[in-house]
């Protein structure tokens, strides 16, 4: 892969100028989290810049691709399509073969129970970047302490939001939450979360 971060930024800005502020916010937050938790900074940065690459692809073109890539996803919300479609297009168009980067992009919407540290950084950064309008202070505090707790808290926030608008929760979103919660320990998470709330 020979593209520099500067080249990538230029490409992303040109492809979807309206989303560029969110992309840069995600990039800065991913850089911060990568440093804080000693995760590969460059992989997190590339994945953060490209995570919403397919966000403005035509719906019918995404559906056509998903028929072979992931037909089951066609039964779920169209909001989920740009993750797997983005990972596919990025591999093809930028010749990026790095599985850490591709998986972080593929699973940035739902998460994945086996997501690695790069994917966790991008998943959290997308949710807590400075441009987000909803209240994410608890997610920011927990992500500072641990990436696992950050992911749990972001998926919890997403599920609460989806419940509030009567939207269905994808099995991967729920599985990510349950798996990491089990890993961290329900009690540890609840105690830490309640302590964060008091500050
Ligand atoms: O692309 P972004 O707007 O930056 O954010 P995103 O890719 O994390 O999420 C896009 C949308 O997907 C957001 O409105 C929430 C929604 N979403 C996330 N998880 C699920 C979901 N929608 C459904 N129906 N089910 C999910 O599990
Ligand atoms: Fe997205
Ligand atoms: Fe995003």
List pLDDT tens digits, range 2-59: 689 999 999 999 999 999 999 999 999 999 999 999 999 999 999 999 999 999 999 9
pLDDT > 90: what percent of the chain? 96
Long-range pairs of 106-109 with CB within 8 A, sequence gap ≥ 24: 107/83, 107/172, 108/47, 108/51, 108/83, 109/79, 109/80, 109/82, 109/83
pLDDT at 98: 97
Look up residue 71 and give its DSSP letter. G
Amino acid 134: pLDDT: 84
Q: Looking at the CA of 48, which ligand is closest? A: 3
Give yes or no for residue 199 having a pLDDT over 70: no
Cβ-count burial of 8 within 10 angstroms (0-12 exposed, 13-18 middle, 19+ buried)?
buried
144 Cα: distance to centroid of ligand 1 (angstroms) = 22
Report whether pLDDT(198) > 90. Answer: no
Q: How far is the CA of 38 from the centre of ligand 1 (A)?
A: 27
- H-only helix segments in 5-106: 5-15, 20-36, 41-50, 59-69, 82-94, 99-106
Nearest atom in ligand 1 to the alpha carbon of residue 77 is 24
Per-residue pLDDT, averaged over 65-92, amounts to 98
Which protein residue has the closest C-alpha to ligand 1 atom 10? 79
- What's the predicted TM-score (pTM) here? 0.97
Banded pLDDT at 83 (limits 50, 70, 90): very high
Mean residue pLDDT of the chain comes to 96
With a 6 Å cutoff on the Cβ, whether 7 touches ligand 1 is: no
Domains of the chain in start order, with CATH, are: 5-197 (1.10.3210.10)
Residues 139-144, mean pLDDT to the nearest whole number = 98
Q: Please, is 27 exposed, middle or buried when counting C-beta atoms within 10 Å of its C-beta (0-12, 13-18, 19+)?
A: buried
Distance 2 CA to ligand 1 centre (A): 31
CB 11 within 8 A of CB 96: no
Residue 3: per-residue pLDDT: 80
Contact present, 121 and 44 (Cβ < 8 Å): yes
pLDDT, mean of residues 108-130: 98
Question: Do 25 and 130 touch, CB atoms closer than 8 A?
Answer: yes
> Tokens for 112?
């994945």
Nearest to 182 by CA among 159, 154, 149: 149
**Residues 104-116 pLDDT 10s:** 999 999 999 999 9
- Decide whether any atom of ligand 1 lies within 6 Å of the 170 Cβ: yes
45: left (phi over 0), alpha (psi -120 to 50) or beta: alpha
Q: pLDDT at residue 157 above 80?
A: yes
Q: What angle do CA 165, 50, 111 make, to 5 degrees?
A: 45
Would you give the distance in Å from CA 157 to the centre of its chain?
A: 13
Number of helices (H), then strands (E), in the chain = 11, 0
For ligand 1, atom 6, the nearest C-alpha belongs to 109
Atom 7 of ligand 1, residue of closest alpha carbon: 109
150 HSE (CA, 13 A, CB side): 26
| Ligand 3 center–CA 187 separation, angstroms | 30
Predicted local confidence at residue 50, as pLDDT: 98
């Amino acid at each position: 892969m020979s593209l520099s971060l500067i080249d990538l930024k230029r490409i992303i800005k040109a492809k979807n100028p309206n989303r560029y502020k969110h992309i840069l916010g995600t990039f800065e937050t991913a850089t911060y989290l990568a440093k804080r938790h000693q995760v590969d900074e460059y992989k997190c940065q590339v994945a953060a810049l490209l995570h919403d690459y397919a966000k403005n692809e035509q719906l019918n073109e995404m559906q056509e691709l998903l028929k072979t890539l992931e037909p089951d996803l066609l039964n779920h919300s169209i909001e989920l399509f740009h993750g797997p479609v983005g990972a596919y297009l990025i591999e093809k168009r930028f010749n990026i073969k790095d599985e850490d980067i591709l998986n972080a992009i593929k699973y940035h919407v739902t998460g994945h129970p086996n997501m690695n540290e790069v994917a966790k950084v991008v998943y959290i950064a997308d949710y807590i970047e400075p441009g987000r309008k909803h209240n994410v202070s608890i997610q920011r505090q927990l992500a500072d302490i641990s990436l696992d707790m950050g992911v749990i808290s972001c998926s919890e926030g997403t599920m609460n939001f989806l419940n509030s608008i009567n939207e269905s929760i994808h099995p991967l979103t729920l599985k990510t939450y349950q798996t990491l919660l089990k890993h961290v320990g329900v009690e540890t998470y609840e105690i830490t979360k309640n302590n964060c709330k008091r500050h």
